[in-house]
Amino acid sequence: MAKTVLEKEMGRLRRAENRFIRKQRNKEPSKLDTLLADKIPEKLESTLDAAFAKAFRLIFSKGSAIIEKSFSVRRLALEFELDTVQLEETGRRRDMRKFTRRAAKTGTAHTMVSTVTGITLGILGAWIPDIIVFLTLLLRNLYTISMRYGYDFTTDEEKKFMLRVIAAAVQQDDDIIKADREINQIIRHGLHTDSSSVDERIEDAAIALSHALLLMKFLQNIPVVGVIGGASDFVYMEKISDYAVLKYQRRFLTDQRRKELASELESV
């Protein structure tokens, strides 16, 4: 039996997910990591944990409305509706891929802004303000990606999902496999099945980012040399955004499959 458009897209998605996971799982420590591992102050990681957690809470409580003003929610919602109508009319693979093509383009300019800002602050040796800038631009990317697939980024369920995505994207070894499976399970059964709180998810995401960026933020606190740490913002912004597109695409395809099943049941 010939595969349907939906089955082909799901197969393509799984291959992309596996490539991402393999790359993260097999990532080897750099020579710089090994060289400077014992030179990082013991208290820096806990300080960074707290800084990321505080920044997340600040943005969620006061910054989301400001971020929302930086793009047209109405335009993105309209584009999604028009793309959905076209997909329902044609059922073509290229029309299904349109959602992901739009989402994948999200944040390119803002990734570059993050890079320039990170390098500038790195030269000045200022990594605490950079955390606010980095997370603001990152969440703007994720808000936009969620809207490209028709999901409301303002709910607590969506915030928890985004925070899981952020934490999973920077994991390595077997941790990336475990985190990815947990996200897929939530997608399969619905976001309402995640019984954790937003605060718990903030703590996990903060720790994951702190661990991943520890060395780079240590370097960023050193004037001039900090340019290396500042440039790392681009790498992690891109990595997390790429992974977010994969997980939102999985949600979208899963929802499309549910619609197909419902339609089949109605026609029986």
* Predicted local confidence at residue 206, as pLDDT: 95
To which H or E segment does residue 221 belong?
A: none
Residue 258 belongs to a domain: no
End-to-end CA distance of the chain: 21
Q: Is residue 69 part of a domain?
A: yes
Spatial separation of the C-alpha atoms in residues 213 and 206, rounded to whole Å: 10
The answer to whether residue 203 is domain-embedded is yes
Query: Does any domain span residue 201?
Result: yes
Residue 199 confidence (pLDDT) above 70? yes
Residue 242 has pLDDT above 90, yes or no: yes
**What average pLDDT is seen over the chain?**
81
Domain span at 98: 5-18+30-252
List helix spans (H) across 69-191.
Answer: 73-90, 93-105, 108-124, 127-148, 156-169, 173-189
- Note whether residue 268 is domain-resident: no
Answer with the residue of higher pLDDT: 204 or 91: 204
Q: Residue 232 above 50 pLDDT?
A: yes
- Structure confidence at residue 158 as a pLDDT band (50, 70, 90): very high
Q: Mean per-residue pLDDT for 63-73?
A: 79
User: Which pLDDT does position 149 carry in this prediction?
Assistant: 95
* pLDDT single digits (tens) 9-46: 999 999 999 999 999 888 766 555 555 556 666 777 78
pLDDT at 110 over 90: no
In a domain, 23, yes or no: no
What's the Cα-to-Cα distance from 147 to each of 34, 40, 52, rounded to whole Å? 40, 40, 25
- Does residue 48 lie within any of the structural domains? yes
User: How many structural domains does the chain have?
Assistant: 1
pLDDT of residue 205: 97
How many other CB atoms are there within 10 angstroms of residue 232's CB atom? 22
Judged against a pLDDT cut of 90, whether residue 70 lies above it is answered with no
In a domain, 262, yes or no: no
| pLDDT surpassing 70 at residue 108 | no
Assign 137 a pLDDT band (cuts: 50, 70, 90): confident
Write down the pLDDT at residue 246.
Answer: 97
